[in-house]
Amino acid sequence: MMRTKLLSLVPRATVACRHMSSATKLTTVEVNDKTGIATLTMNRPPVNGLNLELLRDLQQSIEEIEGNKSCGLILTSSNPTIFSAGLDILEMYKPDKERIRAFWTQLQDVWLALYGSSVPTAAAINGHSPAGGCLLAASCEYRVMLPKFTIGLNETQLGIVAPQWFMSTYLSILPRREAERSLNQGRMFTTEEALRVGLVDEIASSKEEALAKCADFIATFAKVNPLARSLTKQQFRSADLQQLENERVQDLEKFLFFINQPAVQKGLGIYLESLKKKSKN
Ligand SMILES: CC/C=C\C/C=C\CCCC/C=C/C(=O)SCCNC(=O)CCNC(=O)[C@H](O)C(C)(C)COP(=O)(O)OP(=O)(O)OC[C@H]1O[C@@H](n2cnc3c(N)ncnc32)[C@H](O)[C@@H]1OP(=O)(O)O
C-alpha cells in the first residue's frame, strides 16, 4: 500500500493525509491522518458517468476503506460541477451482451457495499447528481450539497424505471409520499428544494466547506461505540439489503429484459443524441 504524503492536495494545509490508492485510476482514496476519515473521490471525466470500470474502482475503494479501519467515508467528485451524471448511458445503449451483465452486477455490488457500509458515510455533493449519481449520494447517511446544482432520480424522464432498491434508497430518506411522487415525475431538485424536502441535510458554499461539514457529521459518532453503531445501522438497512441479495439474479434478468426492449433502446438513443446536441451548442 502506497503511503505518500499529499500535503499539496489536502483542503487544510495543516492536515496530513495518507494517499492510499493511486493504483485505481478512476477513484482516489485519501485518509486524513488527524481525523481518520477517508475521502473517496470519483474521477472519470467528463461527467463521472458510472461505467463498469468506475463502478469496479468504487467498490475496490469502499472495500479498502472498510479494511483500513477508517473512521468514516466521504464520497465526492474531482469535477467542479458534476458529482456524477449517473449510469453511463453508453453501457446500456446497444449493449454488449456479456459486458452489460457485468455492469449491472457491479452496480448491485457497489450499492450493497455503500448502502451497507459498516463505517459512517457522507456525500459532499459538489455538482449535479442525477439518477445513479443521486443513488450513490442517497446511499450515504448524510448529504451536503453546493448551491445551483440539481439532484434526483430522473429515470422516468428517460423512459426507464428505477428498480426496487433505488426506491428503497429514496424511501430511507424521503417521506413515502414525496418519494413516490418525485420518482413518478422523475423530478430533479435544485439544491434548495432538496434541502427543503430532506433529500440533502445541509448546503455548503464550497467543496472545502462541504467536506468539513461531512467530517463534522462523521465526528458525531466519535464517542459512540463503533460496534453498537454499525450493528444499529445494519438493522435499519438490512431489509433493503437482504431484498436485493435475495433477488439479485431476478433483478439482473429484469434489467436485461427491460433495457433490450426496442422502445427503451430507441428512447435511450434519442436521449443520448439530445445530450450530445446540447453539449455542441
Ligand atoms: C422494472 C425495472 C427493472 C429494471 C430496471 C430497468 C431499467 C434500468 C434502470 C436504470 C437506472 C438508470 C440510472 C441512470 O443513472 S441513467 C443516467 C441518467 N443520467 C442523466 O440523465 C444525466 C444526463 N446528463 C446530464 O444531464 C448532463 O450531462 C449533466 C450531468 C448535468 C452535465 O451537464 P454538462 O456539464 O453541460 O455536460 P454535457 O451535458 O455537455 O455532457 C458532457 C458529455 O458527457 C455526455 N454525458 C452526459 N451524461 C451522460 C451519461 N449519463 N451517460 C453517458 N454520457 C453522458 C454528454 O453526452 C456529453 O458527451 P459529448 O460526447 O457530447 O461531449
pLDDT in tens, 196-244: 999 999 999 999 999 999 999 999 999 999 999 999 999 999 999 999 9
Positions of the chain with pLDDT under 50? 1-15
- Burial of residue 98, with CB atoms counted within 10 A of its CB: 0-12 exposed, 13-18 middle, 19 or more buried: exposed
Q: Pick the catalytic residue: 30, 64, 141, 155?
A: 155
pLDDT for 18 equals 61
Evaluate whether ipTM surpasses 0.95: yes
CA-wise closest residue to 48 among 67, 74, 75 = 75
| Minimum CA distance residue for ligand 1 atom 37 | 279
* Grid coordinates given for 144: 451536503
| Minimum CA distance residue for ligand 1 atom 48 | 85
* 75, 78, 83, 85: CA torsion to nearest 10: -120
pLDDT for 279 equals 75
What Å distances lie between residue 42 and 78, 173, 221, CA to CA?
6, 23, 25
pLDDT for 17 equals 59
* Grid coordinates given for 13: 494545509
Residue 85 CA to ligand 1 center (angstroms) comes to 5
Ligand 1 binding pocket mutation candidate from 275, 276, 278, 280 (most atoms within 8 A of CB): 275
- Spatial separation of the C-alpha atoms in residues 201 and 32, rounded to whole Å: 23
Give all domains of the chain, ordered by start, each with its CATH number.
4-280 (3.90.226.10)
Measured from CB, residues less than 6 Å from any atom of ligand 1 are 46-47, 49, 81-82, 85-90, 128, 130-132, 154-155, 158, 160-163, 254-255, 258-259, 275-276, 278-279
Asked if 132 is an active-site residue, the reply is: yes
Asked if 253 is an active-site residue, the reply is: no
CA-wise closest residue to 215 among 151, 144, 135, 147 = 144
Q: Pick the catalytic residue: 30, 154, 174, 199?
A: 154
